[in-house]
Amino acid sequence: MRKIAIIGVGFMGGSFAKAIKMSFSTVCVWGYARSNASYYKLERLRILDKVEKNLEKLLKDADYVVLATPVYAIVEYLKKISCYLKKGTIVFDLGSSKELVEKSAKRFLPKEVDFVGCHPLCGSEKSGPQHSVSGLFKGSLCIITSSFKKKSTREVKKMWEKMGCRIVFMPAKLHDRILSSTSHLPHLVSFSLMYLVSFSFRNFSSNSLRDLTRISFSPATVWTDIFLSNQKNIVRDVEKFIRVLNKFKNFIKNKKRKKIFRLIEEINAKQKKFWKKR
């Protein structure tokens, strides 16, 4: 029986607990409750084999420690847990930006503990363990940012594959650059659009607006941390995005019909190719 300890049993951590129990019969899943409120909530939800409020007890004899909190809390827990981990424990995280987390793991974890940076590309604008789903990881991509030469990485890889993930390895730096563009910027754009649109126009909104603002319900705790921890890439991508908007705007302002038409046609073609089933 292997013991898995999850810190951060929210939507992602809760879904991980459900999925890992579905995929492996020989695991015992413990989860951390920071407060009495979350203790009783988690007890009631019956996602875990054991809910534990004491960090030391939680981590005692754990084979795997899963960090599923917002990014800066992952950093904090890497500091806090380092003294409780036994030799050979594998620590991995589910954070959405990876460079900061990997650096912190190197800095804070003892040498005899292995760290594997993971980011399963799935999620929800909903939050909390009550919304967690066992099939969340099925068919999604999981990016692993640690070296596949390590035995621990291969072990974690197998775990994700058993839960239905496809695996891609890449350096944390590249991960952060790509995700800034494919996920972090889209979230910032969605937040900004929701911020802008006048509340009094809500009766005249379309499905397009609904689709574009769905993820603007994504939790502030998670996204403040993502934006700050991937600051440089996001700032650069927002600036690039503003340049595209200005290009469009100037074409419209100067009635450049042909240029607008060609630009949209080009985008149409790219959209079709981009989302073509592979």
Site for a second copy in 14-73 (CB under 8 A): none
Phi, psi (degrees; rounded to nearest 5) at 169: -100, 135
Of 52, 114, 123, residue with least CA distance to 94: 123
Site track for a second copy across 104-123, x = CB under 8 A: -----------------xxx
CB burial readout 74-107, b (16+ within 10 A) else e: bbebbeebbebbeeebbbbbbbbbbbbbbebbee
The nearer residue to a second copy, 56 or 266, going by C-beta atoms, is 266
Dihedral (C-alpha) 42, 166, 99, 181: value to the nearest 10 degrees? -100
Residue 83 binds a second copy (CB under 8 A): no
> How buried is residue 263: exposed, middle or buried, by Cβ count under 10 Å (0-12/13-18/19+)?
middle
Site track for a second copy across 247-266, x = CB under 8 A: -xx--xx-x-x--xxxxxxx
Site track for a second copy across 128-167, x = CB under 8 A: -------------x-x------------------------
Residue among 44, 168, 169, 173 that touches a second copy (CB under 8 A) = 168
Count of residues engaged in binding a second copy, rule: CB under 8 A: 85
The nearer residue to a second copy, 152 or 190, going by C-beta atoms, is 190
The nearer residue to a second copy, 15 or 190, going by C-beta atoms, is 190
CB 84 → a second copy: shortest distance, Å? 28
Site track for a second copy across 178-217, x = CB under 8 A: xx-xxx-xxxxxxxxxxxxxxx-xxxxxxxxxxxxxxxxx
CB 276 → a second copy: shortest distance, Å? 9
Of 107, 111, 51, 61, residue with least CA distance to 84: 61
The nearer residue to a second copy, 151 or 204, going by C-beta atoms, is 204
Of 147, 142, 184, residue with least CA distance to 160: 142
How far is it, in rounded angstroms, from Cα 165 to Cα 145? 15
CB 33 → a second copy: shortest distance, Å? 23
> How buried is residue 111: exposed, middle or buried, by Cβ count under 10 Å (0-12/13-18/19+)?
exposed
CB 231 → a second copy: shortest distance, Å? 6
Residue among 135, 164, 171, 219 that touches a second copy (CB under 8 A) = 219
CB burial readout 115-132, b (16+ within 10 A) else e: bbbbbbbbbbeebebeeb
> How buried is residue 14: exposed, middle or buried, by Cβ count under 10 Å (0-12/13-18/19+)?
buried
The nearer residue to a second copy, 44 or 249, going by C-beta atoms, is 249
CB 10 → a second copy: shortest distance, Å? 15
Residue among 37, 111, 151, 275 that touches a second copy (CB under 8 A) = 275
